[in-house]
Amino acid sequence: MHALVADGLRKTFGKTEALAGFDLRVKEGTVCGLLGPNGSGKTTAIRIMATLLRADGGSARVAGFDVARRPGEVRRRIGLTGQSTAVDEILTGRENLEMWGLLYHIGKKRARRRAGELLDQFGLTDAADRRAKHYSGGMRRRLDLATSLILAPRVLFLDEPTTGMDPRNRNEVWSAVRSLVDEGTTVLLTTQYLDEADQLADRIAVLAALPGAGGRIVAEDTPDGLKAMIGGDQIDLVVRDAGAIDAAAKTLARVTGSEVDIEPDERRLRAPARDRIGVLTTVLRDLEEQNVEVEDVALRRPTLDEAFLRLTGQHIPDDAKETR
């Protein structure tokens, strides 16, 4: 059963195309990471599915209801934590939750009880009666997240939940998201951070916009599957003596049958390796025969940045790269 289905969503703002046919399916109770650089249409996609924006074309069903035809039904079943927090800074954390609870029509008593539960769940009990103005970025985001959960939504949308956060705050948000998923919430999360998608998501959908066109999904798989899809492992080799680089490069090229990437300053050589173990033993044996001393050797999976390059032919733009 899919909690979220998007078929060919299209959206254009003025002359700029934001989404050019967005398809996505997210199984119930899983986390889908929507990964893409700035301007690839992530927020547009989320806003359409959260009933904030109307698509120009295509359709989407969230928790079983069409977002354009039955937005009211969808709204009863979703939570959204957007890029800009919806925290009232003049109210305390508790008052924020109680107010939103009333607006969710759960009644004063239940709103109060639910606020207490959520403050507890998100580690905000000590700060509950302080004004949100004095909260840290991470606390504010957690409060915002808690608000989205007042009704225990079937589907939770998180639009770049940790952008601009320090690692400690980010970890707090991550563990909050993980515990939600344990309770069966389906999460669609957008992120520019590769490690975030890797850490949280069951499946990753890569959204990319080619120059002059709107975003579309260019790949969708498990984090490991995605890495496998874009070319398997890499062999990483460091030789002891700079004079041996050429000999090592020749050997590596012959054994792997691929082009070798050399970083002379670090005496490091890199090449994609199709057959993991075979390559490693053959390379090491051949180098030993040539008396080339190896300082370090490793087989590693490609990073998501490398994945992005393979999938879209573009590097992730600098402003969308990890800065932490």
Partner 1 sequence: MTVIDDTRPTLGYHLVWAFKDGWTITTRGLVHWIRNPAVAIGGLLYPIVMVALFGLVLGSAMTVEGGGDYAEFLMPGMFAQAMANGVMGTMAVTSSDASEGVTDRFRTMPMSQAGVVLGRSFSDIINAALELIILLGCGMAIGWSWHNGLDGALAAAGLLLLLRFAMIWVGIYLGLLLKPEAAGAAWMVLFPLTMVANTFVSPAQMPTWLGYVAEWNPLSATVTACRELFGNPGVVDGSWATDNAIVLAIAWPLVAFVVFLPLCMRKYRRLSR
Residues that bind partner 1 (CB under 8 A): 50-54, 72-73, 75-88, 90-91, 95, 99-100, 102-106, 131, 144, 147, 151-152
Smallest separation (angstroms) from partner 1 to the CB of 173: 15
Smallest separation (angstroms) from partner 1 to the CB of 54: 5
Report the greatest alpha carbon distance in the chain: 79
Distance of CA 155 to the CA centre of its chain: 16
| CB nearer partner 1, residue 69 or residue 300 | 69
* Alpha helices for the chain (secondary structure H): 42-49, 71-75, 93-103, 108-121, 137-148, 167-182, 194-200, 223-229, 245-256, 276-289, 304-312
| CB nearer partner 1, residue 159 or residue 198 | 159
| CB nearer partner 1, residue 90 or residue 298 | 90
List % helix, strand, coil for the chain (3-state, nearest 5): 40, 30, 35
| CB nearer partner 1, residue 102 or residue 299 | 102
Q: Is 319 helix (H, G, I), strand (E, B) or coil?
A: helix
Q: How many residues can be counted in the chain?
A: 324
Smallest separation (angstroms) from partner 1 to the CB of 145: 12
| CB nearer partner 1, residue 55 or residue 230 | 55
Side chain identity, residue 193:
Y
Smallest separation (angstroms) from partner 1 to the CB of 302: 35
Q: Could you tell me which of 30, 5, 42 has the C-alpha nearest to residue 202?
A: 30
Q: Could you tell me which of 129, 135, 136, 134 has the C-alpha nearest to residue 115?
A: 129
Q: Nearest 5 degrees, angle CA 12-CA 18-CA 23?
A: 105
Smallest separation (angstroms) from partner 1 to the CB of 134: 13
Q: Could you tell me which of 190, 148, 229 has the C-alpha nearest to residue 48?
A: 190
Smallest separation (angstroms) from partner 1 to the CB of 51: 6
| CB nearer partner 1, residue 95 or residue 286 | 95
